[in-house]
A and B are shown apart, each in its own frame.
Chain A
Amino acid sequence: MLETVMQLSLVLVTIAMIGFVYRLIKGPSIPDRIVALDAIGITLVAMIAILSMLLRTNAFLDVILLLGILSFIGTTAFSKFLEKGEIIENDRNR
């Protein structure tokens, strides 16, 4: 029962990720694509959680935290690049 529900939810999360990939390809502006990438990163976290439950191992639980941190850093860097044109500024007195 539980394993069937896990497989079903893995399939449904994959369908949701395909929807985000559609927006990533078609999105008319750059921020659309960043929104889709952020959502893909966070959905990947859920996918890894379901997969580690299916495989009955706790070796992948570090990956959850790591992907969350990397996705947040990527989003922050992208939006700072969009707003100011550079990510790490040289002149700090502006």
Chain B
Amino acid sequence: MTATAEIVIIIFLLLGVFLTLAAAFGVIRLPDVYTRNHAASKSATLGVMLILLACFLYFYLIEGHFSSRVLLGIAFIFITAPVGGHLISRAAYNSGVKLWEKSVRDDLKNKK
């Protein structure tokens, strides 16, 4: 029972760490603010949610302690991280940060 639980926890941890590293590579290598925000707000969020799920499973299955605060943290990060990404992206567009010079489509250009 404990061995199976350990394998599940290891899988969730490694998936979460991989997604966090992918977010870091995206933030370093992508060309402008919007694509970098795309990488950071999606994959960092999912990676952290998987790591928190591993933490919850560790405390529930191995230590025998049901921690509702970690579940609440997962729900909170799932709700607020996309909202934060949207707010940063909108503030960047409205304060006049240019898109990448090779982007072909700007739907918001004629709105104002």
Contacts and interface: CB of A to CB of B under 8 A. Distances in A.
Interface of A: 1-2, 5-6, 8-9, 12-13, 15-20, 22-23, 29-32, 34-36, 38-39, 42-43, 45-46, 49-50, 52-53, 56, 58, 61-62, 64-65, 68-69, 71-72, 75-76, 78-80, 82-83
Interface in B56-96: 58-59, 63, 65, 67, 69-70, 72-73, 76-77, 80-81, 83-85, 87-92, 94-95
Nearest to B95: A82
Contact of A45 (B6, B28, B52, B54): B52
A32 B6 contact: no
B17 to A, nearest CB: 4
A6 B13 contact: yes
27 contacts: A15-B21, A17-B24, A19-B25, A22-B28, A23-B27, A31-B88, A31-B97, A35-B40, A35-B41, A36-B27, A38-B84, A39-B44, A42-B44, A42-B77, A42-B81, A45-B52, A49-B54, A49-B55, A56-B63, A58-B59, A64-B70, A65-B69, A68-B76, A71-B84, A75-B88, A80-B91, A83-B90
Interface in B1-41: 6, 9-10, 13-14, 16-17, 20-21, 23-25, 27-28, 33, 36-37, 40-41
